[in-house]
Each structure stands twice: as C-alpha cells, then as structure tokens.
Amino acid sequence: MPRYLTMVRIDENNAPAEGPSEALMQRMGALLEEMTKAGVLLDTAGLTPTAQGTRVTWSNGEFTVTDGPFTETKEVIGGYAIIQAKDKAEILEWTKRFLAVHEAHWTVTSEIREIAEG
C-alpha cells in the first residue's frame, strides 16, 4: 500500500498570533485518533517556527548554513504526516478532512507527495 508524505504549509506571518484554538486542537485530536484506528496514520507532528530552524545548502561543492527565520519564504512547512492509503483518492479525502478541522480564518495548504519505495 503506498505511503504519502503530506507537508502542511502555513504563512508564518499571517498565522493567528494566538495559535490553534482549543476547539481546533480537540477536532484535530479526534481526527488523528480516527486515522490511527483506521491504520492509515503512520506518523505526524508539528514543527517549530523557522526562527528556530537551519537550512544547509550544498552548491558548487560548498556548504552554506543559514539560520532562520527564513523571511524570503512566504509559506513554510509547519507540520507533516505520513499516511498509508490505498490510492490517491483516499489520501485526498484524509487531507481534506485534516484541512477542514481548521477555522475559516486559517490559510493552510497540504502538499501531498507519494514516498518512492525501494
């Protein structure tokens, strides 16, 4: 069964300053529990702000190390999930349900990538 990485993209500059509401966290917890019981959720987590991150680039035979925040980037990866789904239709359905637990004032995008096996 294919595995997918969903990268949750947020705009750090326009995310709600107060963070996720308690109601959002309750809905998210219920969905993640349902996904775990269904056997599709393999791993998930939120990520710390880019201010605490570091980028390492290899270019022309040299490393460049850049500490965050990464102000030139509008959207950043705020979290991820690894989901095992039977096909693209199923991963799309779970992803839509994940996005829909957020209140309307959130702008959240999930990028879905199938994990290459072998």
Residues of the chain with pLDDT > 70, as a percent, come to: 100
Element (H, E) at 96: helix 88-100
Nearest residue to 101 via CA among 25, 16, 17: 25
What is the average pLDDT score of the chain?
Answer: 92
User: Is the pTM value of this prediction over 0.75?
Assistant: yes
**Packing angle of the helix pair 22-37, 88-100 (nearest 10 deg):** 160
What range defines the domain where residue 34 resides?
3-114
Q: How far apart are CA 100 and CA 60, in angstroms?
A: 43
Note the pLDDT tens digit of each residue in 4-34.
999 999 888 777 878 889 999 999 999 999 9
